[in-house]
Chains A and B, each alone.
Chain A
C-alpha cells in the first residue's frame, strides 16, 4: 500500500509539473531564443534604407543659446539632415507634454536647462558618419548660473529656470499634502518621546543594460507609422504619440520587442523618440536612434533625489502615535516624473509603512533644478522606495533612542494580522498582511539572537559588527482606474485569450515584459485556470496592433493587474466550455463540473471531456444559438492595490581602519501572496536585492557646482558585479491578496524597495553606540571612515 501511495503521489507530481500550473518552477519558455543569441532588441532592427540619428547635447547645465551652426556637419558626405529646435518649432514639436502635466523641450530653442539636454540631431547614412558630423555642429552658448540643489532653487532670489513658462516666477513645482495635520499635531502634543531623522535619498539611475532607443518607420505613401521602441508601456505611448505628434492613432503601431531590462527607465517618452519619428516623417526613410551609455545616464529618467525629514511621536508604552514627514524633491529642469496624475510625489504617502500609526501628516514640495528631468521609479512603485527607506530608517533611530532592540520596536508597533483590511492614516486600505509572521521566519533563518551575542562580544573587543532590520510594506499594482491614471489613462490592464481547435492557446497582454518572464508566468495562470499545459500557451506582448490596450509594466503591476485579467478571461472561457460540454454530454449546464482541464457531468467523474475536446467542439460542433470559437478578452480594473511585505536582515562587518563595509549575510523573507512560478519570483528578488545593494553602497548620480554630471558612465556610476554582490538567503511566507483572483501580489520591486534600509540600518547598528546616527547613501568607505574619525575612532 505504501508503495502505491508513493507511486500515486509521484504520478500526481509529474502531472503537476507537466501541466505547469501555479506553484511550479517551470523553466522559462522565453530562454530558448536568448541562449541562442536570438533575442530581438530594438538595436537589432534593421530596415531597408534606414538612417541613423545621433543627438548633439548641451555641455552646459544652464545657458542661453545664441546660435546653432550645422553647415560643417551638413558638408560631410552621408549626412542627410541636422534637425534643430527651430525646425521642430515650425511643426509645433519643439516642446512636448510630460507624464506629470508639465512641458519638456524636445530640442532646445531658447536655453539649455541641464547638462546633456538635447540641442540638435544629426541624421546620416551610418552611425559613424552621424557621430562624426555631430562633433561638427557648433552651438554658441552664453552660460548662466546653474542651480544644482532644490534648496538653492527655492531660496529667495534664485534665478528662474523655467522662465519660458507663463506665470512661473520661481522654481517651485508643486506643493502636496496627505494625512491629517490637526490629528498629527495632537498626537505630537501628547507624545512621551519624539524621535526625528533627516536623510537624503540621492539621485540614482535604473540604467538597464540595454539603453533606450527606437527605429521610427513612417511610410509616406500609406501614412502608417511603425515605431520599434524600448517601451514598458507601448499602448500608452501610442496614445501619447497620437496626442503629441498629431498622428492618427489607428495608423501608429508601436512595437516594443525584447527589452534588455527597464526598471522604470523605459516608461517616459524621450526627445529622441519624438525627433526620430518626426525625422522619418519629413525624410521619408526609417530612422534609428540608440542611446550610448552616457546619453542614457545623463538625460533619461533618473530616480529618487528626495530630501526627507520627519519625526515619530511615541507614547509612554513605546507605541507610535503620530508621524510627520516633510520632503523636498529635486525634479530637474522639467517635471517629467512618471506617476499617477493625482499624486505629485507618487505614492510616498505609504510612508507609515508596516506600522499602526493612527495619525500622519506628509508635506511634499518639488523644485526645478538644472539637472536632468524625468524622475522615474527605479524598480519601485512610484516613490514607495523613498517612503519605505524613510520609515525604516526612522524606526531604527527610534529603537536607538528608546534603547530597544530594533526587532522589539517593530513588533510593538506592527499592524497586527487580524487588523486587515487596514485603513492607514494617509488613506490606503492595506489588503492583507502578517508582519510578525514574516519577521519570525527571518529571525529564525538568520539566527538573530546568536548574532546579537556575537555582536556584544565583538563590541567589547572594539570590533564593529551590525545587524540591520527592515520590515517593508509596499503598495503595488495600480489602479483602480478611478483613483490612478497616467495622463488621464486609467490604470486597468487587459488579457485576450484564444484557444484554437487543437487546444493550443494564444494569450495577448497589455503589459510588457522586460525580462520578468511573462511568457512563462502568464502561461502558467492559463494552465492553472483552464488545464491547458503551459507549454501549449503562447504569450504575446508589446505590439499595439496585436495586443489589447493596457497601461504596461512598471510599479509591479503585471501580475496584480495583467495576471488578474488573465485569470478572469480564462474563467470566462472555462464557463463557455461548460455550455459546450453540456451540449456534448447532452446534459444541463448546471450539472457540468470542471476541474484541472476536464469537464464531467455531476456524479459521473470518469466520463470526461478535456478542454482540448471542448476547444475542438467550439469550432466543429457548437450548440445552436452559441457563438463559435473559444476566445475572450478581459479589461481588468482592480478593486484595490496589493500590499506585498517582508522582513530583510543584513549582517555587516566594518573595518575601522579603512571604513570598508562587508556584507556578511543577507536574509530576505518576502510575502507576495501566492507565487505563480517560485523560481522566477526568487530571481526577481535576487535582482532587486542586488540593485538595492548597489543603491546603498555604490550607485550615485551627482553634480558639481556648475551642474556637470558625475556618474555619466559605468566607470563613475558603479554597478555591483558578481564580486561585490552578497550571497542572498531567501525565505517566504504566503498571505494571499483577498481581492486578487489568484491571491497574488506584485513582487518585482519589493527587494529594491525594502533592502536599502536594511543595508543602511546594519551599518548604523554597527556604529550607533559611537553616536553615529545617519550616513547618507551610497555608504562608501570614505564616508564611514570620516564618520569614525569624527568620533575619535582610529585603527
Chain B
C-alpha cells in the first residue's frame, strides 16, 4: 500500500507492505540508518523518532500509521548544517559513548526541553526513562540535556533583547 508522510521536511510517498514496522521503513526503505533497533519490544528507545514532534518508538508502529504525519529522525536535527542545541550538548558533556542510544536520547531530550524549557534533574531523568543507555550511566546525558536547555534559554533571551 502507499503511505505518504513528511520526514525531516521532505515529503515521501512509499509503497510498503502494511505490516512494515516504521523503523524498518526508515532504515531499509529510506536508507536512513541513524534510527537503531535495540530490543523490538519498545523497552529501549533506540528506535525513537519524533512523530508530529512527539517521541515515539518506531519499532512498535506500523507504516500506515505515518499517513499524513511529520516524522523527525536524527538525520533531521542539524537543519541547514547547523547543529541542534541537543547535539552540541551531547558532544560538550560527553553524553554518548558507543552512540547506539544517542539518536533516540537526543530526540527525547529535544522534545522534552521544547515542552519544558527549564526541566529539573528529576524531570529529565523521568523524561528519558523510556530510553536505555548501557554506557554512560545517564549522568552526562542529564547534563547534555541541561546544556541544551541552557543554550536554548540563552538564545531566546538574546532574541528578546
Which residues on A are within 8 Å of B, measured CB to CB?
27-28, 30-41, 43-44, 46, 127-128, 207-211, 258-261, 263, 292-294, 514-517, 679-680, 682-683, 686-691, 713-715, 719, 721-723, 725, 727-728
Contacts and interface: CB of A to CB of B under 8 A. Distances in A.
Contact of B141 (A44, A514, A722): A722
Contact of B134 (A30, A292, A687, A728): A687
Nearest to B75: A37
B102 A208 contact: no
A210 B135 CA distance: 12
Contacts of A514: 98
A686 B137 contact: yes
A722 B129 contact: yes
B132 interface: yes
A37 B139 contact: no
Contacts of B2: none
A683 B98 contact: no
Contact of A27 (B92, B97, B125): B92
Given A35-B83, A37-B73, 8 more contacts: A31-B99, A35-B77, A36-B78, A39-B102, A209-B133, A293-B44, A691-B134, A721-B128
B125 A723 contact: yes
Contact of B100 (A209, A688, A691, A728): A209
A515 B124 contact: no
A127 B28 CA distance: 10
Nearest to A207: B134
A572 B133 CA distance: 40
A28 B43 contact: no
Nearest to A679: B94
B131 interface: yes
Contact of A41 (B94, B100, B124): B100
A208 B27 CA distance: 20
B106 A690 contact: no
Contacts of A39: 34, 99-100, 102
B91 A728 contact: no
Contacts of A127: 24
A722 B128 contact: yes
A28 B94 contact: yes
Contacts of A209: 36, 38, 44, 46, 98, 100-101, 132-134
29 contacts: A27-B91, A31-B96, A31-B99, A35-B96, A36-B77, A37-B33, A39-B100, A41-B36, A127-B24, A209-B36, A209-B100, A293-B44, A294-B40, A515-B97, A515-B135, A517-B97, A683-B97, A686-B137, A686-B140, A690-B136, A690-B138, A713-B41, A721-B128, A721-B138, A722-B126, A722-B133, A723-B129, A725-B125, A725-B138
How many B residues touch the partner, as a band?
Answer: 35 or more
Contacts of A40: 33
A743 B19 CA distance: 56
The 10 closest A-B pairs by CB, nearest first: A37-B34, A515-B98, A260-B100, A34-B99, A686-B137, A37-B74, A714-B43, A690-B137, A515-B97, A723-B129
Given A39-B100, A714-B39, A714-B41, A687 B137 contact: yes
A210 B98 contact: yes
Interface string B51-90: 0000000000000000000000111011000010001001
A682 B97 CA distance: 12
Contacts of A261: 97-98, 100, 134-135
B91 A35 contact: yes
Nearest to A39: B99
B99 A687 contact: no
A44 B33 contact: yes
A32 B83 CA distance: 10
A687 B136 contact: yes
Contacts of B103: 37
Nearest to B98: A515
A31 B95 CA distance: 9
A91 to B, nearest CB: 31
A721 B32 CA distance: 27
B61 to A, nearest CB: 16
B142 interface: yes
Contacts of A207: 134
Contacts, number: 171
- Secondary structure dominating the interface of A: loop
Contacts of B27: 43-44
Contact of A713 (B39, B78, B128): B39
B147 to A, nearest CB: 12
A722 B98 contact: no
B17 interface: yes
Contacts of A46: 31
A41 B35 CA distance: 11
A344 B39 CA distance: 33
Given A37-B33, A209-B46, A723-B125, A293 B132 contact: no
A552 to B, nearest CB: 16
A722 B138 contact: yes
Contacts of A682: 94
A627 to B, nearest CB: 39
A42 to B, nearest CB: 11
Nearest to A31: B91
Nearest to B104: A209
A263 B134 contact: yes
Contacts of B20: 128
Between B32, B106, B139, the greatest number of chain A beta carbons within 10 A of the residue's beta carbon is seen for B139
Interface string B129-158: 111111111111110000000000000000
A293 B94 contact: no
Contacts of A44: 27, 33
Between A34, A36, A207, A714, the greatest number of chain B beta carbons within 10 A of the residue's beta carbon is seen for A34
B50 interface: no
B37 interface: yes
A38 B35 CA distance: 10
A733 B142 CA distance: 26
Given A209-B133, A687-B137, A722 B101 contact: no
Contacts of A28: 91, 94
B116 to A, nearest CB: 15
Contacts of A32: 91
Between A27, A39, A688, A689, the greatest number of chain B beta carbons within 10 A of the residue's beta carbon is seen for A39
Contact of B125 (A38, A294, A722): A722
B137 A35 contact: no
A291 B59 CA distance: 15
Contact of A31 (B31, B43, B90, B131): B90
Between B78, B94, B98, the greatest number of chain A beta carbons within 10 A of the residue's beta carbon is seen for B98
A691 B138 CA distance: 11
A40 B27 CA distance: 12
A679 B24 CA distance: 35
A35 B124 CA distance: 19
A689 B137 contact: yes
Contacts of A516: 97
B22 to A, nearest CB: 14
B134 to A, nearest CB: 5
A564 to B, nearest CB: 23
A689 B135 CA distance: 10
Contacts of A34: 96, 99, 102
Contacts of A713: 39, 41, 43
A288 to B, nearest CB: 11
B51 to A, nearest CB: 17
Given A37-B103, A38-B34, A44-B33, A293 B39 contact: yes
Given A37-B32, A261-B100, A728 B137 contact: yes
